[in-house]
Amino acid sequence: MTTASNARVFISATHDPRVNLAIENFLFRTLSKFNTSHCLFLYKNSPSVIIGRNQNPWRECNVPYLESHNIPIVRRFSGGGTVFHDHGNYNFSVMMPRQQFDRDAYIQLLVPQLNRYAGNDKLFVNERHDIVNSSNQKVSGSAFKLVHSHAYAHGTMLLRSQLASLSQSLRPSYIGSIIGRGVESVRSPVANVEWLDDHSFEDSAIQAFKAFAKIESEPLPVFQFSSFDEFFNRCGDLSLRDDYKLLTTNEWTFNQTPKFEHKIPKDNGHISVMVDKGQIVEINDQSVRKNDFPLPLPYHAEEVEKYIPTYGPIISQAMKN
């Protein structure tokens, strides 16, 4: 049995996705520093698209739409698929010793807590480790990370998310096909849990966490913070700032994308654009001479139009549709 002194709950009141993902990663890396075996982290983000560690943002989401609406793309430190976050989407992360890791263990405890408020529209855990409603619409997705000593499972809970914006953000806009090693998301119909409010979700998440950590009657320490600086002043670890800075860079967000090929159709075949670390490194077409343009070149429509005179407009249009 875990004592309350070895378990922690952190609740963030800041909605900056990069801050929250940096803190999540910091908590996971430093559980022992807090003399903690189990940790629950709850947070909400402003509108943003969060992609998995090994994903391709151009294949997963509508990059031009996100840029035009100032919705950031953030590459997290864990694997899994792409998700849309906004103020109507609550996020939870449960950290534990590796030997206790089970993909469904926490959410199997969370669902009965949530169903106390459900009425007839009960929630269930499906075979993909997602929480779904009675119409088999996904209301919560999950992702996981394991290291040698500990692990975490994190997930989302759609309460009052802007589903139209979610759909538009996660609808890729490119023409042709993108082929590469990056992990692809499995797309599912989604819905909000409209009968659940923030307070009820927080309470349910904490009660499920107490059961998961086998804490029976002791008060559970809950730490709330409203800004990056408040949390940083409490922990005083410079690596937290390093994680935050990394999450803000294009080098991390785009240039960590696994190598891929964008095949763009044209009248007599296709143009093959090879992209590595976010840079166009090769363009293959029988009528294009390699000295027609400088390579490598950022895989961005404006750069392509500026520096590739021959097929720049075709490639640019295929990137942003």
> Containing H/E element for 225?
strand 222-225
Please count the structural domains in the chain. 2
- Three-class DSSP category at 153: strand
- Output the domain CATH number for residue 42: 3.30.930.10
> Containing H/E element for 286?
none
311 is in which domain, residue-wise?
260-320
Residues 154 and 223 grouped into a single domain? yes
Q: Look at residue 2 in the predicted model and tell me its pLDDT.
A: 57
pTM score, whole prediction:
0.91
Q: Look at residue 67 in the predicted model and tell me its pLDDT.
A: 94
Residues 248 and 265 grouped into a single domain? no
Q: Look at residue 182 in the predicted model and tell me its pLDDT.
A: 82
Last residue of a domain, one of 224, 253, 282: 253
d(CA 93, CA 27): 10
Average the pLDDT over 148-173 and give the result. Answer: 94
Which residue did the predictor score with more confidence, 105 or 216? 105
Residues 178 and 289 grouped into a single domain? no
Model confidence over 25-67: pLDDT tens digits? 999 988 876 678 899 999 999 999 999 999 999 999 999 999 9
Residues 247 and 268 grouped into a single domain? no
- Among 94-98, 261-265, 297-301, 304-308, the least confident range: 304-308
Last residue of a domain, one of 253, 272, 307: 253
Residues 76 and 156 grouped into a single domain? yes
Listed in sequence order, the residues at least 6 apart from 314 whose beta carbon sits closer than 8 Å to its beta carbon are 264, 266, 271
pLDDT-above-70 percentage for the chain: 95
Residues 186 and 61 grouped into a single domain? yes
**Is the pLDDT at 187 greater than 90, yes or no?**
no
Q: Which of 110, 112, 109, 100 is nearest to 144 (CA)?
A: 100
Residues 106 and 231 grouped into a single domain? yes
**Position 181 confidence tier, pLDDT thresholds 50, 70, 90:** confident
Last residue of a domain, one of 197, 230, 253: 253
Residue 53 Cα to chain centre, angstroms: 8
Residues 235 and 124 grouped into a single domain? yes
d(CA 283, CA 293): 10
d(CA 94, CA 103): 11
**Is the pLDDT at 292 greater than 90, yes or no?**
no
Model confidence over 55-107: pLDDT tens digits? 999 999 999 999 999 999 999 999 889 999 999 999 999 999 999 999 899 99
Average the pLDDT over 226-253 and give the result. Answer: 92
Which letter, b or e, does each residue of 270-298 get, where b requires 16 or more Cβ atoms within 10 Å of its Cβ? bbebbbbebbbeebebeeeeeeebeeebb
Which residue did the predictor score with more confidence, 32 or 18? 18
Residues 81 and 197 grouped into a single domain? yes
Residues 116 and 222 grouped into a single domain? yes
Q: Look at residue 290 in the predicted model and tell me its pLDDT.
A: 55
Residues 182 and 235 grouped into a single domain? yes
Residues 191 and 231 grouped into a single domain? yes
Decide if 312 contacts 299 (C-beta within 8 A).
no
